[in-house]
Structure 1
Amino acid sequence: MAEDDRVAVKTYVPRQQKEIWSAQADDLEMSQSEFVRTMVQAGRSEFEIPSAGDSGGTEPGSDAPADEDFADRILEVLQRSGALDWDDLVEALVDDVEAELDAEIQRLQDDNLVRYSGREGGYVVTSDE
């Protein structure tokens, strides 16, 4: 994508939300724009990496095959990082998924939908009991 192909998108969020996003972007060593763009894409993308021979299917509410979303993710990584060999490309994609997972787990914990339980050996869904 050429630099002149970019356009601005403006939105308003509560100050506290911006502070949270800013801190999370810093933790991920991302600009705030890159963080928001990545989180929006993560919300629109499946978190599974299609295996070879996977026919893909479609996302709910979308006519685009899931393969195209994965292709877009590959292109984003290569545009951001430049030339990568196979192992580095796999590592970059895994790192992206880990960053997305970390942000989502944090959001779910902030919303009190999941919590980490040492006793149970991992993350668990909270109950309203």
Structure 2
Amino acid sequence: MTDDERVAVKTYVPRYQKGAWEDHADNLEMSQSEFVRTMVQAGRSDFEVPSSGGAADEKQSEMDADAETADSAGDDFADRILEVLQREGVHDWDELVDALIDDVEDDLDAALQQLQDENKVRYSGREGGYVVVGDE
């Protein structure tokens, strides 16, 4: 095997994350593989995604504006990491992932309960999941 030979890398992400990556890749007119490879490298070396001009740049500007809004969510996530480490002590990567997933599941459960109490969503066995009340 040579250093420049292509090899597969496999990872698992939540379905919503894959969907977001697909949308972002489409907006940048990239394949999913190219998008993930570029984002990983960007995170490692702080380089910017090359500009292709035209509609892709306009969409990128819109996504950049959305990203600014999402920055506070990133801060919240960093706060969650700190909370876990302060509450539970030293964690390796997998332990942090598990702890954060547990926190997300707890938050999801609480939020769904609140939305059901407010009669905004309900569980539909027929639909196979949660639905917005009134959109049925």
Whichever structure has more helix as a proportion of its residues is 2
Structure 1 residue runs of 5 or longer lacking an equivalent are 1-47
Task: Identify which of 93, 96, 101 aligns with 1:89.
Answer: 96
Matched to 1:59, the amino acid is T
Deviation, structure 1 residue 73: 1.2
Residue 120 (structure 2) aligns with: 113
Residue of structure 2 in register with 1:73 after alignment: 80
**Equivalent position amino acid for 2:68 in 1:** T
Count of matched residue pairs:
76
Determine the C-alpha separation between the residues in 1 that align with 2:117 and 2:99: 27
Cα deviation for residue 70 of structure 1 reads 1.7
Corresponding residue of 1:123: 130
1:13-28 mapped onto 2 (5 Å cutoff): none
RMSD over aligned Cα atoms: 2.9
2:69 corresponds to which letter in structure 1? Answer: E
Match of 2:51 in 1: none
Shift of 1:128: 7.9
Show structure 1 runs of 4+ deviating over 6 A: none
- Structure 2 equivalent of residue 9 of structure 1: none
Higher relative contact order (CA 8 A, sep 6+): 1
Deviation at 1:57, TM superposition (A): 2.8
- Residue 67 of structure 2, aligned match among 51, 57, 61: 57
Percent identity over paired residues: 63
CA distance in 1, matches of 2:76, 2:100: 13
The counterpart of 1:101, out of the listed 82, 105, 108, is: 108
List gaps (5 residues or longer) in structure 2: 1-16, 18-38, 44-63
Please state how far the C-alpha of 1:85 moved relative to its aligned partner: 1.2
- Per-residue displacement from partner, 1:42-93 (whole Å, max 9, x unpaired)? xxxxxx8xx964x893338xxx644322211110111111111111100000
Contact 1:113 1:125 (8 Å CA) reproduced: yes
> What CA distance in whole angstroms lies between the structure 2 residues aligned with 1:78 and 1:71?
11
